[in-house]
Amino acid sequence: MKHLISMRDLSKNDILHFIETAELIEKGKMKPNLKGKLAALLFFEPSTRTRFSFESAMKRLGGETLTMSGTGTTSAKKGESFADTIKTISQYADILVIRSVLEGASRYASEIVSIPVVNAGDGANQHPTQALLDLYSIVKTQGTLENITIAIIGDLKFGRTVHSLVYGLSYFSPRFYFISPLHLSLPEHIKNELHSKNIIFEEGREIDNLVNKLDIMYVTRIQKERFADPEEYEKLKGSYQITSNILNNVKGNFKILHPLPRVNEITTEVDNTPYAYYFEQAKNGLYMRQSIISMLLLT
């Protein structure tokens, strides 16, 4: 594997290999040496969190970064094409990490440069490094990826982390509950694919009656601005807000994941329950990104 662009490109073995490497790195049993290596982090769409996670991953392995955050400082203002920007910057680095609002930006970049490309989020399309750290978080909390019962809640239409996670989990016989407002439900093409793989899933509008069946509850932001009618948002909001009240009879292995940032879809009192795992999940991102970068750079 040369690039990491989409979960669709990964075999089951690829995923397991990334996870095993992350685990070895976290436990200190493996310490890839990236001394002398440079990652160019091109964040056309700014993100402090994901950028810091990649920077930390590189630097903790002895590597270095070149960082662009936002479009304000690029040659795009002078009329340069995305292709020219990417080709030029690829001269200065050993690996490119790209976040863009444009779907397919990383794929296109991978086709025109000679160094590895990592997709750190492209529009509403894919966010494979997030999906891999989510899977790593599931393994760490459940002991396995197989036969997980998981509810995915929030904006399932535009949420790129959701799309990538669904693809990734599909290898491991999951049972999905997709909970969202009607007009933010999972795209048809993804549902068709799940059908063709004989993966069991249900769609719903509310979480309450489900919680006690779950191994994992994966919560994402519901973006207010995606509702045509603000009143509808206010009416629905409660259906998707996780409070400690609804966690009374959950399973012992139950955990709540969230890709962060959170707004108010999980109340802060939940943070103090043993079910909250989202900050540890963020930390897992560090090990997973060390795994990804070192596998692409060193093998």
The verdict on whether 251 is a catalytic residue reads no
- For 84, residues 6+ apart whose C-beta sits below 8 A from its C-beta are 75
The verdict on whether 183 is a catalytic residue reads no
Binder among 253, 279, 298, 299 for a copy of itself (CB under 8 A): 279
Q: How many residues bind a copy of itself (CB under 8 A)?
A: 48
Establish if 93 lies at the interface with a copy of itself (CB under 8 A).
yes
The verdict on whether 17 is a catalytic residue reads no
Establish if 282 lies at the interface with a copy of itself (CB under 8 A).
yes
Query: For a copy of itself, which is the closer residue by CB, 124 or 210?
Result: 124
CB of 114 to a copy of itself, least distance (A): 11
> Which stretches within 222-277 are classed as H helix?
230-237
Establish if 233 lies at the interface with a copy of itself (CB under 8 A).
no
In the block, which residue shows the tokens 């070192």? Answer: 294
Establish if 140 lies at the interface with a copy of itself (CB under 8 A).
no
The verdict on whether 78 is a catalytic residue reads yes
Establish if 101 lies at the interface with a copy of itself (CB under 8 A).
no
Residue 155 to residue 108: CA distance in whole angstroms: 26
In the set 29, 77, 78, 189, the catalytic residue is: 78
Residue 77 to residue 5: CA distance in whole angstroms: 26
Establish if 184 lies at the interface with a copy of itself (CB under 8 A).
no
List, edge to edge, every strand of the sheet that includes 149-153: 200-204, 175-179, 149-153, 216-219, 255-257
Binder among 84, 111, 146, 269 for a copy of itself (CB under 8 A): 84
List, edge to edge, every strand of the sheet that includes 38-43: 64-69, 38-43, 95-100, 117-122
The verdict on whether 2 is a catalytic residue reads no
Q: What are phi and psi of 271, to 5 degrees?
A: -55, -30
- Cα dist from 256 to 137, 208, 265, whole Å: 10, 14, 12
In the set 50, 65, 129, 141, the catalytic residue is: 50
Burial label for 268, CB within 10 Å (0-12, 13-18, 19+), is exposed
Establish if 268 lies at the interface with a copy of itself (CB under 8 A).
yes
Q: Which residues bind a copy of itself (CB under 8 A)?
A: 36, 38, 40, 46-49, 51-53, 55-56, 59-60, 64, 66, 68-70, 72-75, 78-81, 83-85, 87-89, 91-93, 221, 260-264, 268, 279, 282-283, 285-286
